[in-house]
Amino acid sequence: MSPPPKPRSLDDEDPDRLYTVTGGRSRTDETSIDLVTLIVTESDATPGMQSEYVKIIEMCGRPMAVAEISADLRLPVSVVKILLCDLLDTGQVTARHPTSAPAKAQLPDPKTLKQVLVGLRKL
């Protein structure tokens, strides 16, 4: 699509653009990707690659959380997750999942919390 994404105006944005960005898909295995999953680039962008993929690959030279990628691309989190699934499939990025985060309706383990406390106290 030709027009560049307008900042903070998804409500007014042509839904077709989001449809095109994701190749029209709405569901993948994106549920395994969390807001705070850290994404790391593993290989350079390939010629002719869709611009959103290129941007992700360029911004994840150092680990970057899905939420940050979403903010920088100005795309909804769910759209970014779909794009990330593609890049994970091809191995161009890898994901560091928040393994120590608790499962739904479960408390985080004391060991993790202790580490969080130590980190916060140092601020």
Partner 1 sequence: MDSANSDARPARTPLRSTADTGLKIVIVGGFGVGKTTMVRSISEIRPLSTEETMTRAGVGIDDAGGVADKSTTTVAFDFGRITLNERMVLYLFGAPGQERFWFLWDRLFSGTLGAVVLVDTRRLADSWYAIDRLEYHKMPFIVARNNFEGAPVHPLDHVRDALSLSDDVPLIDCDARRRDSCKAVLIALVNHLYALSSAAALESTR
One character per residue 4-23, x = contact with partner 1 (rule: CB under 8 A): ----x-xx---x--x-----
Smallest separation (angstroms) from partner 1 to the CB of 39: 10
The answer to whether the beta carbons of residues 11 and 74 sit under 8 Å apart is no
Site for partner 1 contains 85 (CB under 8 A)? no
Under the binding rule (CB under 8 A), the answer on residue 41 touching partner 1 is: no
Identity of the residue, 2 or 104, whose beta carbon is nearer to partner 1 in the bound complex = 104
Does residue number 27 form part of the binding site for partner 1 (CB under 8 A)? no
C-beta of residue 1 within 8 angstroms of C-beta of residue 53: no
Burial label, 75 (beta-carbon count in 10 A; 0-12, 13-18, 19+): buried
Task: Determine if 1 is a binding residue for partner 1 (CB under 8 A).
Answer: no
Dihedral sign for Cα atoms in the order 75, 79, 81, 86: negative
**Rounded to whole angstroms, how far apart are CA atoms 32 and 98?**
10
**Is 71 an interacting residue with respect to partner 1 (CB under 8 A)?**
yes
The amino acid at residue 49 is M
> Which residue number, 46 or 98, has a Cβ lying nearer to partner 1?
98
Kindly state the number of chain residues that form the binding site for partner 1, as judged by CB under 8 A: 49
